[in-house]
Every structure is written in structure tokens, then in C-alpha cells.
Structure 1
Amino acid sequence: MGSAGFDSEHEQFRDLVRQFVAREIVPHQQRWEEAGIVDRSLYLAAGKQGVIGFNVPEEFGGGGVDDFRYNAIVTGELARATSGPPALSLHNDIVAPYFIRLATPEQKKRWLPGFASGELIGAIAMSEPGAGSDLAGIRTSAVRDGDDWIVSGTKTFISSGINADLVIVVARTDPAAGHKGFSLLVVERDMPGFTRGRKLDKIGQRAQDTAELFFDEVRVPAANVLGEVGRGFYHLMHNLPDERLSIAVAGVTGARTVFDATLEYAKQRTAFGQPIGTFQHNRFLLAEMDTELDIAETFIDACLAQSARGELTAERAAKAKWWVTELHKRVVDACVQLHGGYGYILEYPVASAYRDVRITTIYGGTTEIMKEIIGKSLGV
């Protein structure tokens, strides 16, 4: 990526983030993967350096930067350093916009300073055991009781579910109202009835804690409703394009990183007396991947420029998300093959990338759901 209008300030921020990642993440990544969770101190360090919270208004301790290209820089540098990075982009790209755009002045004063500093870690709870991409299948309910809402239900596959202090829960507040019956409620750590289940043992992305969450008649104050009651579905639809663009940014950066490493490997590794990259099949394969990555990078740059102008549509973001994640998966698979047996050894980054990439065509909306969104926009 490079033609999305990045200026000198963006590049200074990129240098800051790259140094932060090298200093605060890379040395600890293996330990975090083995533990299945990052140290909470990472968020505090990220807040201190402005790697998180830069999009929070200055009056609440943030950087006051409303420009998704800064988000893309953090996401890209994380993807460049490791194929399964900590969930800082979840904090910046997915959770932060809900608080920034929807919170009342009182809620912003209560939550945003800690969110920007890294003292409060956020998560959003949409998926359930019986409802993933189909949000209409959500069964978690919230029933009004005086000045409170009583929340009951189960969520699963929740990123940062163990570490989270503030969980935005998608719940049905009016079972008879269809898409107009959902609301967003913020459940805070240690509210009675809110418990965390097991930390899920995943194939990849192991440094990101993912958990089951249980809500047993949790009494949530009405002051913790985020946005408008009954408008939860619409709030989700408004925020999902940037979430999907973030996934696409990580995908294209991750794919390019693996490709670059594989190209160097293909120049150095010999078989039958010559570098493996010089065999016509391998040379063609490398040429195809480089071409497809150039095309993907150009498209993502265009999407980032649209996002900066407030013009990114849900359909455009869906195209970016499905195409890039499927390309990422194909590139990593081909690069493992080019590495031969070494591609299956975890000390080689291509092996961990193979393990980590598989989820990307599923989370944030599956490839099939992305195609549904695009198809409906075409009137078919």
C-alpha cells in the first residue's frame, strides 16, 4: 500500500508504531501464543505511546485523529510483524468507533479516558452458539426493569473476551420488532451475573484471547445503553465497513509479507543445481502472486482513500474483505508449498501464517455473507 494519500505525519506515525511493535510485541509474541492471552500491560504501553486511543477525542485523553489511515498503519504494522498479532486493532478499529460515535457525553467522560490509556479494554459480543453471521438469530435478551435492563444469554467467539473490561453486548430488547428489536448495552467487568467461560483453544491467532461469555440476569443500568434503544442493528451496519476494511488491510499486508519472504527463499534455496525460483512453474507462480498482490494493494488504497472522505460503502468494504482474505489464504498456501518441508516447521514464519490465516475468511462476516451483501446491492 502506498497511494492512499499518506503524508509525512502518517509516515512519522508509522515509524513510531513499527518501533513500538519491535520493542513491545515481537519479543513477547511466542510467550503470549503459548498462554493464549497477552499481558494487560501491553495496552497500557500502547496507550502511553498513542498506538491505541489516537482516534479518541483529545478532551478525553486521546489523540483526536479521525482518519482511518492511522488505523490502517497500526493494523498493517502488526500484520507485518506477526501473522497472529495482539488485538490492538480490535480496540482501535472495531470497538472504539462505537464509543466515539454513539456514547452520550456522560458515557464518554466515564469510559473514554480509560479506553484511550489502555486501562479499560473493550470487546463487542455479537456471535452466539446458534448465531454467527446471521445476526437475526441472536437470542440474548434484555428486558427493562425500572431503571435497569436485565440481560440474559450466551455469547461465543468473543475476541478479548477474557481481558475485556467493557463488553458491548448485542441483545434483543423487543422480540417482536425484527431488525428494530436489537440494542447495544455495555456490560462492565464484575457486574453480578456476568461470567466468562473457557478461553477457547484455537488453531491459530493464539495470542488473541477468545472466550465464551455468560449473562445470567445481569442488571445493566439504562445509563449503559449505547446509542438508541431499538437501533442496535443499524449501529452495527454503520460500523461494519471499517471493521471489514481493517481485516482487508491486515490481509493484504500479511500476504505481501509472506510473499516477500518466500521470494527471497526461492532465490536462495537450490534444487537440482539451481535456485527453486528459476524453475518455470515456480517463476510463473511467483509472478501471479506478485501481480494479484499489486492489484489488491491498489484496491485497498482506493478503499482507504474513500474511507478518509467518508465515502466507503458497505458493498465496497465487503468486496475488499472477501477478496483479500481469500487471496491471503491462497498466497500463504502457495508459499508453504514453495518452502517444501520447511514450510511446515513453525520456526519459519510461513508456517505460523498458514495456521493463522484460516480464520480470516470467517470472522468479520464470512466470504459467503460478503457475496450476499454485494449480490443484493446488484439487485439480484
Structure 2
Amino acid sequence: MELQPPFRKIIHVDMDAFYASVAELDNPELRGKAIAVGGEGRRGVISAASYEARKFGVKSAMSGTLAKQKCPHLIFVNSDFKRYKEISLQVREIFYEYTDLVEPLSLDEAYLDVTVNKKGNPSANTIAREIRQRIFDKTGLRASAGISINKFIAKVASDINKPNGQKTVHPEEVLQFLEELPVNKFYGVGKVTAAKMYNLGIFVGNDLKKKSLEELIRLFGKSGTHYYNIVRGIHNSVVKPNRIRKSVAAERTFSENISSEIFMIQKLEKIADELEKRMKKTDTKGKTITLKIKYSDFTQQTRSKTKDYFMQTKKEFFPVVKELLFQDKITNSVRLLGLSFGNLNTEDNEPVWVQLKFDF
């Protein structure tokens, strides 16, 4: 089966080691060295690592202690989200010079639909190259890009020639590209699903393609339909500009595990202050408040309650937070607490958890 035109022209732009690269940009003496953005202490967590550090196995979400064991000469630097946002906005301005169909995924990556673009350029590959050069000229930072007929393939392609490269998967190459793609690279296939696929003899797209729709649904439930379509190049999610946040959230990781519910209330008071600030800043109200608890053994629990009216201020929602905390007995020490508002007076996506601060 061949894919049928017309095809969209989608670019996925991904900044190379963004946080670490910003640190190098602002501190030239760090260039070419193994650096990690995050905490070095016992409870520190790595949020980004330079490519030099990655060669030693240092990666995001790794503890600072383990990162140091893997790379003894690792240099730790603090996060600077104000600076990241400043540069991210500069990069986004460049995107909008080419198209208004820009869907930011985070500070350092975005999808662009350039099927019809402001430059009148029919070559998405050329546009991606221009954008990457413009980003370097304006910020001094490098970016990689993937170009193809849909968001999924463009995102996978952007990782192929990193850093400072790009990969185009033309329409006539899509099916072969997907057939040769390892299944753990497919969107929606995590470690557990990948392991299950391996046990079933499914290692690359071509193996997946041999399974019928009925068999995939039996094996993977609703996700089976997604796998069936995506390996055939069917992924109709459009680039969504002006995405409206569906949830507002904030969380905090503690330097020491806490066991006392009195201490937890004190921590939640501060998190609630930040959540209220974010709700007011975005002029958002919500009906569902969720308490997130991560225990010292890294197991996680959420407790939610929905009211029949919208809430925004701490005075309105904090009594519900306390109710959720005391809903069940805390049987283990806690390393992280978070609060989120859902069921908002807006539309769209998943909760966005914002790390307020790491205590080091």
C-alpha cells in the first residue's frame, strides 16, 4: 500500500542539549567539558547534560550522585529558567517568520507546518536549514531538525543526525523508514511495551506491520489501533498553534524525606501559594484539585476531588488539599508533593507539572 498525496510538510526543530548549551554560551570556559544542569548533592537530580557528559552515561532524571560516579570530572551548573525562556522566545520568533502554524512542545522543541509558508518556499528541507542557521546566528546555539509528512516521523527524524544536523524522510521513503525503525522509537511505545513486543518477536516496524489490527488490539488494547496505523504512515494529528493548557500544576522535591503530616501541610502551603499565583496569572479556574505524592521508594500516588464550582484562590482550594492529605494514612516517608488543577474553564492537554525548586 502506497501513501496517497497531498502530503503536509512538517518540521520538528529540537535544540541540541539546550540547558547545557545555554550554560556553555554564558560561560565559555565550560565549552567542550562534561557538564550537567542540576543538583550535585545526594538528592540532586540531573535535568540536562552536555554531549561530552552523555558519553559517560549521564542523562536527565539521573541522580547527581550516580552522575558523578559515572563521570568523576562532571561539572554541575544551576538551572536558569528565566534565561532559557528568554532564548526560547527568540527562537520562536524565528519560527513565526516562516509560519503561524507553530506548536511548541517545550522551551526547546516545536513542530512547524510549512506546507504553505510565509516565504513561499516549496522545500521544507531548505526552510529547516535556514531556520537552524538563523537560530545559530541569533542565539549562538545549535539545533537539529526532522522533516517529513507528519509530526511523528518528523520527531523521530530530528534525532537521527543530532547534534547540529537534520534528516528528511520524503513521502516515497516513509514506509521503508517505518519498516526499519526499531519499535522502541515508535511514539507510545515505552520500556514495558517494548519488552512485551520483543517477547512477541516484534523488533522493528516490519515485524509490527505483519500483525493484524485485531491481533494488535487483543495484545495492546486501544493502543493496538495506534500501532497499526502509525507503522503504515497514518498519523493525522495536525500542528496545533495556540494550545490551551488543560491543567495548571506545581510540585516540590525535598532535600530530606518527610514523614510528619504537619510538615507536609507546611510544604503544601507554599506549593499552594505558587499554584494560586499561576492560576491568577493565566486567568484560569478549575473544579478538580489533585494531590500528588511521591514516596521515598519512588512509588507515586494521586488523590483528587472535584467540586461543582470553579476555584482559583488558595482560600478556596486549600481546605480540599488538607482533606485529600488526610483522606488516607501516609504509610511511608515522602520525597515529593505536588498540586494540580484540572477540569478548567479552558480546553486541551495533559497536566504540566512544574518543578518549583530543588532543595540541595
Q: TM-score, normalised by structure 2?
A: 0.24
Structure with more of its chain in strand, by fraction: 2
Tell me which structure has the larger Cα radius of gyration. 2
Structure whose residues are more often helix by fraction: 1
TM-score, with structure 1 as normaliser: 0.23
